């Protein structure tokens, strides 16, 4: 089969302000990237290495066929997380059980790509080892590194980054940033000498200049220069060495700190415990105190004005971050006042509670909002886990945190190996008789299954069962049974459906709806393949009803995927088409790329069964892109239908036509793939499914019954569901159709029926 390269999209930081100067350095680095495979930008903190690397990355992107990837390492606090962080930025969902390093190297081996590793100074040894092996095993990958020192490995070209030229670029930078905070400010003959003096005192260091420029609202250039003369008396003449430049930045940070209020100093220091970005809610919890009299929000506003904090907009929410030299300085101040443990605990407690709340509301209408929030908080959750494992007596909190949100970490983020690493560390640190240990070992087995480490999962399950025998908790036993049924499903073992059904029944009896959902999926698919398709449909229909009842999306997509799988193999192909389209919509909504690959593959099976073999080949090609982009392949759960329908499609088209259609699918962008698969692209034949309908198949069925005049209780009796579930369905239908009453539902149904008759 032909293969079209897919560009990896993980660019550098968004440029929130104008990029000033550096023309010579940009040209030099661009030229070197055409000649050498490893370039390291070195220089003191605050000299602008990260900003320069991000700018170069955007300039050279067209030269790298498979894209550019920017990996920020400042927030990575452990060497063993380096490869996991790179894998995450590449979007990998490796399920092979390999080490993250192996998965990254395998993925990059044939690609022509630029990898940027930013802020490596605290991980010099691990980065050197990683890059040396990467360059040896991936001959077409180039690496751009930034740090305060070089990696010291063969083939490295070191480019020292100097400060900005004082008389030109440094002054331009000051004026640009000063104008941003005071739009009426202008460089003129009257202040030109003072501007040059400021930039000379600050040694042309961009970060120091930006901090000084932020003062232009309250001080004139002459006043700033005078204060700097007092603050930096030993650094106003002579040629600077690198250590002296670091002294310049340090003195500038001291000056900025001294000009802050007590509240601003406190928030600066306390906020240094955050990794990456943080939001106002977290800041108010961690940074509040008697020193912050005016409130955290007002203090944050002041720190934004002074360029201590930067603002970012993420998914419609404002988040804040500090440049690494500022964060390091703040943390030094936190250490100096002896508050590191207290503030670190507050940070951990906030993210412990956040993951607890997200876990409690996972199977709810708030799920998408939680996904967006968790995406932004990954670095902070990591930091909270690391703190809990480093602080004596706190490992149990890390264990609990690692057991939450397993569907998010595994299926949406693809972080199975990392979360298992955290969980195993916690298990090694907590007492062997801890009452939550059986459940934690069970979750660790689940992470093994998501990496297709079946033997390891069975070993962990045996350990969990042994521990659970001492606890005697039917919910713990049900969780072990559920995970064991998942393992059996991977081995296509008889009895899987019965085992999963028993676990689901226990969860149902205890009112644990979320815990019931995945076992219902396993029960449904396994029952169908064990010969009872009707039982499989019933389990999946119950799963759909429960999902509709709570308004969640992730398990809804899984349920419809299961239903599509059953129908395409044993039943109505048109019903399979409709279910597959719904499942794809859910995967796209949650951002679960690996789930998207499953759904696209399933739609290809549907097209093959419908006899639309060209469409099937295109969808197989499009699915291959996503499998490849996530570093995965069709696993045992889908490999049988995948191979069956792929072979049938090729046989029906012949090699030449199949390759042409498959290549067309491979050439599609992600957006084009979504439109094509959902039948939304003009001129493309669609699957036989009502893809424009906002209702799920179950909701359409209930809408039809409403239009026929049935009450909710009559609908419940007819469909063998509870009256409450019927009520919930009708409320969701009203909301989706923007209808005010049942009569408007009936009007909508009548219109749809007329359109359907017109298309016959």
Give the per-residue pLDDT at 245. 53
Q: Which two tokens stand for residue 633?
A: 């392949």
Query: Looking at the predicted structure, is the pLDDT value of residue 172 above 60?
Result: yes
Neighbours of 233 (CB within 10 A): 10
Report the side by side order of strands in the sheet with 67-72: 8-10, 67-72, 113-118, 141-147, 38-42, 156-160
Query: Looking at the predicted structure, is the pLDDT value of residue 459 above 70?
Result: yes
Name which of 276-290, 351-365, 480-494, 745-759 the model is least confident about. 745-759
| Pairing verdict, β 310-314 and 317-321 | antiparallel
Query: Looking at the predicted structure, is the pLDDT value of residue 468 above 60?
Result: yes
User: Which residue, among 530, 554, 534, 556, has the nearest Cα to 543 in the 3D structure?
Assistant: 556
Q: Which two tokens stand for residue 757?
A: 């008759």
Give the per-residue pLDDT at 753. 77
Give the per-residue pLDDT at 631. 84
Give the per-residue pLDDT at 240. 46
- DSSP run (H or E) holding 319: strand 317-321
**CB crowding 419-438: b at 16 or more within 10 Å, else e:** bbbbbbbbbebbeeebeebb
Angle at 282 between CA 277 and CA 285, to 5 degrees: 145
Name which of 7-21, 80-94, 442-456, 661-675 the model is least confident about. 7-21
Give the per-residue pLDDT at 685. 40
| E strand residue ranges, 55-178 | 67-72, 113-118, 141-147, 156-160
Query: Looking at the predicted structure, is the pLDDT value of residue 95 above 80?
Result: no
Q: Please state, rounded to an integer, the average pLDDT across all residues of the chain.
A: 88
Using 50, 70 and 90 to split pLDDT, how confident is the model at 687? very low
Average pLDDT over residues 449-474: 93
Using 50, 70 and 90 to split pLDDT, how confident is the model at 249? confident
Look-up of token digits 């101040």: 333
Query: CA-CA distance, 256 to 253, in Å (whole number)?
Result: 5
Name which of 539-543, 668-672, 728-732 the model is least confident about. 728-732
Angle at 33 between CA 29 and CA 34, to 5 degrees: 120
Give the tens place of pLDDT for each residue, 694-738: 777 678 888 889 988 888 888 877 776 767 677 777 887 887 887
Average pLDDT over residues 170-194: 84
Whole-model pTM? 0.82
Q: Which two tokens stand for residue 276?
A: 């990456």
Query: Looking at the predicted structure, is the pLDDT value of residue 236 above 50?
Result: no
Query: Looking at the predicted structure, is the pLDDT value of residue 238 above 60?
Result: no
Give the tens place of pLDDT for each residue, 579-618: 999 999 999 999 999 999 999 999 999 999 999 999 999 9
Look-up of token digits 């220069």: 225
């Amino acid at each position: 089969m032909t293969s079209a390269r897919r560009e990896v999209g993980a660019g550098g930081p968004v440029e929130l302000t104008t990029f000033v100067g550096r023309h010579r350095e940009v040209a030099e680095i661009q030229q070197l990237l055409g000649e050498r495979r490893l370039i390291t930008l070195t220089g003191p903190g605050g000299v602008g290495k990260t900003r320069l690397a991000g700018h170069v990355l955007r300039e050279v992107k067209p030269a790298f066929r498979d894209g550019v990837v920017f990996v920020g390492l400042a927030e990575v606090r452990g060497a063993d997380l380096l490869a996991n962080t790179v894998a995450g930025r590449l979007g990998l969902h490796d399920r092979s059980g390999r080490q993250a390093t192996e998965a990254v190297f395998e993925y990059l081996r044939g690609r022509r790509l630029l990898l940027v590793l930013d802020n490596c100074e605290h991980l010099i040894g691990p980065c050197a080892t990683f890059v040396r092996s990467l360059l040896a095993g991936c001959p077409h990958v180039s690496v751009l590194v930034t740090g305060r020192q070089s990696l010291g490995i063969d083939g490295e070209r070191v480019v020292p980054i100097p400060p900005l030229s004082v008389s030109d670029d440094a002054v331009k930078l000051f004026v640009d940033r000063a104008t941003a905070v005071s739009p009426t400010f202008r460089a003129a003959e009257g202040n030109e000498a003072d501007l040059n003096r400021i930039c000379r005192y600050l040694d042309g260091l961009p970060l120091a200049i930006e901090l000084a420029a932020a003062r232009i609202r309250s001080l004139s250039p002459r006043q700033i220069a005078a204060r700097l003369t007092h603050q930096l008396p030993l650094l106003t003449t002579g040629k600077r060495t690198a250590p002296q430049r670091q002294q310049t930045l340090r003195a500038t940070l001291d000056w900025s700190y001294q000009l802050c209020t007590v509240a601003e100093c406190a928030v600066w220091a306390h906020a240094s415990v955050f990794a990456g970005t943080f939001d106002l809610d977290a800041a108010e919890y961690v940074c509040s105190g008697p020193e912050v009299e005016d409130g955290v929000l007002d203090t944050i506003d002041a720190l934004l004005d002074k360029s201590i904090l930067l603002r970012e907009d993420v998914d419609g929410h404002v988040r804040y971050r500090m440049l690494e030299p500022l964060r390091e300085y703040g943390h030094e101040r936190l250490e100096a006042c002896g508050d590191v443990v207290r503030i670190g605990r507050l940070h951990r407690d906030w993210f412990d509670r956040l993951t607890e709340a997200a876990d409690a509301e996972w199977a709810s209408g708030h799920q998408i909002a939680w996904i967006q929030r968790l995406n932004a908080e990954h670095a902070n959750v990591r930091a909270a886990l690391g703190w809990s494992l480093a602080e004596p007596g706190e490992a149990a909190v890390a264990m609990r945190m690692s057991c939450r949100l397993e569907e998010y970490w595994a299926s949406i983020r693809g972080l199975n190996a990392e979360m298992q690493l955290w969980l195993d560390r916690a298990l090694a640190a907590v007492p062997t008789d801890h009452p939550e240990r059986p459940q934690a070992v069970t979750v660790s087995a689940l992470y093994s299954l998501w990496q297709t480490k079946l033997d390891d999962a069975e070993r962990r399950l045996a350990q969990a069962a042994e521990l659970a025998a001492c606890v005697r908790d039917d919910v713990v036993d049900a969780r072990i049974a559920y995970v064991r049924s998942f393992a059996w499903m991977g081995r296509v073992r008889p009895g899987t459906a019965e085992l999963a059904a028993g676990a689901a029944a226990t969860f149902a009896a205890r009112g644990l709806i979320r815990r019931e959902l995945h076992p219902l999926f396993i029960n449904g698919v396994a029952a169908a393949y064990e010969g009872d398709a009707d039982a499989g449909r019933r389990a999946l229909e119950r799963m759909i009803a429960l999902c509709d009842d709570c308004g969640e999306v992730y398990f809804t997509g899984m349920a419809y995927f299961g239903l599509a799988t059953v129908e395409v193999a044993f039943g109505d192909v048109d019903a399979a088409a409709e279910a597959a389209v719904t499942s794809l919509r859910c995967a796209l909504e949650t951002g679960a790329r690996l789930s998207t690959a499953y759904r696209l593959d399933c739609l290809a099976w549907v097209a093959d069964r419908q006899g639309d073999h060209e469409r099937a080949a295109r969808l197989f090609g499009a699915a291959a892109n996503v499998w490849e982009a996530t570093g995965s392949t069709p696993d045992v759960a889908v490999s049988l239908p995948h191979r069956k329908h792929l072979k049938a499609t090729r046989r029906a088209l012949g090699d030449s036509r199949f390759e042409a259609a498959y290549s067309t699918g491979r050439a599609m962008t992600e957006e084009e793939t979504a439109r094509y698969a959902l039948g939304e692209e003009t001129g493309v034949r669609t699957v036989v499914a009502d893809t424009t309908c906002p209702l799920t198949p179950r909701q359409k069925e209930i809408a039809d019954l409403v239009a026929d005049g049935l009450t909710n209780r009559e609908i419940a009796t007819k469909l063998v569901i509870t009256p409450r579930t019927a009520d919930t369905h009708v409320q969701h239908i009203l909301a989706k159709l923007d209808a005010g009453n049942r009569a408007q539902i009936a009007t909508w149904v009548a219109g749809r029926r007329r359109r359907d008759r017109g298309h016959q």
